[in-house]
């Protein structure tokens, strides 16, 4: 009799242990580091975290930071499982920062960026920024400075041809523009902050870039390219079809993350794209083909497994 109860007791303990283990797994929190609220990246991270939590039972917590110079090291040191940043920051994190364990999960969408100016002003092109007060430096987002120099180079300009307004990040560049301390601000299309500035000043426009200047731009920034856009709700400040400077926004992790976790992240995102778009419209261009690009930083094995199973080959940059 006592032996029977002993066996029953052991079974109950084992079952309880399994239940606790399952509960602990479900309760695990995965940090997702990104930029401040109001930025394109924060909205993208929020969309992905929401879908992973609701559709895959992954408790992903969005963690805003001061900038990419914080995001990449946090993932590289294992302080957060996921990060989102531009292609330049991720490559610099490996090549210059020494974070050799960084691994790409997917290219999420292109960051279409440039200089916004007042719609009622006389500035229309990048060339018109000569002698003007232009945000520069980006001490908390160091990889953005080369993109600023690359955009200026399309018009034959350098930092010597403008009046630099030193800023730590894109949010400050917008705030300086709002306060009248700068004649332009640098930001990505689709960010809530851009809409805020547009409404506050009574209209903004994107300074048009000269496609003929891209060879000079590529001497400064390897990962930049041009994409065609047309006027629409996302593209505030665009009055006609035009090409804008673009580079990819990457979701990345560490080599220490499990293959199953990474596979689940990309699989869940692709299976629930409408849910992503509902929060972040720019994710309309997200697809398995877009996600897999020819970059120098390695993709995580979990992502490579997904692409192999779905016969997806790495795509060259446009």
pLDDT tens-digit readout, 281-312: 989 999 999 999 999 999 999 999 999 999 99
Residue 78 contacts residue 256 (beta carbons within 8 Å) = yes
What's the CA gap between 7 and 245, in Å, rounded?
69
Q: For the chain, how many residues are written? A: 318
Residue 184 contacts residue 125 (beta carbons within 8 Å) = no
In angstroms, what is the C-alpha Rg of the chain? 22
Domains 30-109+250-309 and 112-247 alike in fold: yes
Provide the pLDDT confidence category of residue 41 given band limits of 50, 70 and 90: very high
Provide the pLDDT confidence category of residue 8 given band limits of 50, 70 and 90: very low
Give the CATH fold of the 112-247 domain. Answer: D-Maltodextrin-Binding Protein; domain 2 (3.40.190)
pTM: predicted TM-score of the whole model, two decimal places: 0.78
2 backbone dihedrals φ, ψ, rounded to 5°: -65, -35
| Residue-wise pLDDT tens digits, 54-68 | 999 999 999 999 888
Continuous segment of H or E residues that includes residue 55? helix 40-56
Domain at 30-109+250-309: CATH code: 3.40.190.10
What's the CA gap between 153 and 156, in Å, rounded?
5
39 has a pLDDT exceeding 70: yes
Q: Please name which of 140, 114, 110 lies closest in space to residue 44, comparing C-alpha atoms.
A: 110
Q: What is the mean pLDDT of residues 72-84?
A: 96
What residue segments make up the domains of the chain, in order of their start?
30-109+250-309, 112-247
């Amino acid at each position: 009799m006592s032996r029977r109860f002993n066996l029953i007791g052991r079974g109950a303990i084992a079952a309880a242990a399994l239940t606790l283990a399952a509960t602990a797994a479900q309760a695990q929190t995965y940090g997702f580091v990104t930029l401040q609220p109001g930025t394109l990246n924060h909205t993208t991270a929020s969309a992905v975290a929401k879908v992973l939590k609701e559709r895959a039972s992954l408790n992903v917590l969005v963690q805003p930071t001061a900038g990419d110079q914080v995001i990449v090291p946090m993932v590289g040191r294992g302080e957060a499982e996921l990060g989102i940043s531009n292609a330049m920051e991720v490559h610099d994190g490996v090549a210059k920062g020494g974070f050799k364990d960084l691994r790409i999960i997917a290219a999420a969408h292109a960051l279409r960026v440039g200089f916004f100016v007042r719609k009622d002003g006389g500035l229309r092109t990048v060339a018109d920024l000569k002698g003007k007060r232009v945000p520069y430096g980006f001490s908390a987002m160091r990889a953005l400075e080369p993109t600023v120099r690359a955009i200026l180079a399309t018009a034959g300009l350098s930092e010597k041809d403008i009046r630099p307004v030193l800023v730590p990040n894109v949010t400050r560049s917008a705030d300086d523009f709002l306060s009248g301390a700068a004649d332009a601000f640098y930001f990505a299309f689709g960010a809530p902050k851009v809409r805020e500035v547009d409404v506050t000043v009574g209209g903004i426009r994107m300074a048009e870039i000269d496609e003929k200047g891209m060879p000079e731009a590529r001497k400064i920034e390897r990962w930049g390219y041009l994409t065609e856009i047309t006027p629409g709700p996302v593209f505030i400040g665009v009055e006609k079809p035009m090409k804008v400077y673009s580079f990819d926004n990457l979701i990345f992790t560490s080599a220490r993350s499990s293959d199953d976790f990474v596979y689940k992240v990309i699989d869940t995102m692709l299976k629930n794209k409408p849910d992503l778009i509902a929060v972040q419209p720019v994710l309309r261009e997200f697809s398995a083909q877009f996600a897999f690009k020819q970059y120098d930083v390695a993709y995580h094995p979990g992502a490579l497994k997904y692409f192999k199973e779905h016969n997806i080959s790495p795509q060259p940059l446009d």
